[in-house]
Structure 1
């Protein structure tokens, strides 16, 4: 919902844009925390930058939302989500 809101707001609604961006940053920050925890547990390679991975996830979520609207096959969507974490940049080199 935040991504949709962000795409629909204009500069004339700057205060709403700022609030939406702040919420998206908070969400990204939570992903960073989760990724760092996963790194400490050995689930994600420690050499990977947690912020970069969190940004990657945020971009993928936006794309997955579009994919889900175009494709009603829930198993295909689940497969796409699984692939997100099995490939670059999460894949160990």
Structure 2
């Protein structure tokens, strides 16, 4: 059987958007065909099944978010200034959201993780890596004298991760720009104290 040729990243991002919009259970193969431009047979050939496509989409999501995160912290600006820009961008993402889309990790976690240990592991590892990256940024801020050295960067990164996920979730129900920005600012101020 010949392998179908397609732009894998484009297909995965399209599938990702569909899973975020509809959720895994409510996403049909017809929805995926429409979103990706691939026929179901090609999806099965490339990803085994809908679950395989979700796992590949979760990996693409991880790569995209990791690259996005790194872009905020790759220059010589003060780390806390970069963190503020990152939080402001999250607010902007919340405001651009149409109310149906949610973080792919959050959707998959709430829908599948209790029943699928592999998906639970993929999500947990992605969140652990993200939190470790935030802890590293906070440690760099400490080394540069921007953040008090006695603070526990691991605990601060956990608090930051909780706050960001809370902000994203809250943004779906209360998308008032000034409220979201105030919450993000308060989260940032807590980290800086």
With the shorter chain as reference, the TM-score category is 0.7 to 0.9
Count of matched residue positions in the alignment of Structure 1 and Structure 2? 90
**Residue 192 (structure 2) aligned to one of 71, 85, 90:** 90
Q: 1:11 to 1:72 in 2, by over 3 A?
A: closer
Give the TM-score taking structure 1 as reference length.
Answer: 0.85
Name the SS of the counterpart of 1:12 in structure 2: coil
Question: What is the root-mean-square deviation in Å for CA atoms of aligned residues?
Answer: 1.5
Shift of 1:4: 2.9
Kindly indicate whether residue 179 of structure 2 is the aligned counterpart of residue 76 of structure 1.
Answer: yes
Give distance in 2, aligned partners of 1:10 and 1:41: 39
**Residue 129 (structure 2) aligned to one of 21, 26, 30:** 26
**Residue 162 (structure 2) aligned to one of 41, 54, 59:** 59
**Residue 39 (structure 1) aligned to one of 137, 142, 161:** 142
Greater relative contact order structure (CA < 8 Å, 6+ sep): 2
Task: Answer yes or no: is the 8 Å Cα contact 1:6–1:20 preserved in 2.
Answer: yes
Task: Answer yes or no: is the 8 Å Cα contact 1:6–1:21 preserved in 2.
Answer: no
In structure 2, the partner of 1:13 is: 116
Give the TM-score taking structure 2 as reference length.
Answer: 0.44
Moved more, 75-84 or 25-34: 75-84
Task: Answer yes or no: is the 8 Å Cα contact 1:11–1:17 preserved in 2.
Answer: yes
**Structure 1 unmatched ranges of 5 or more:** none
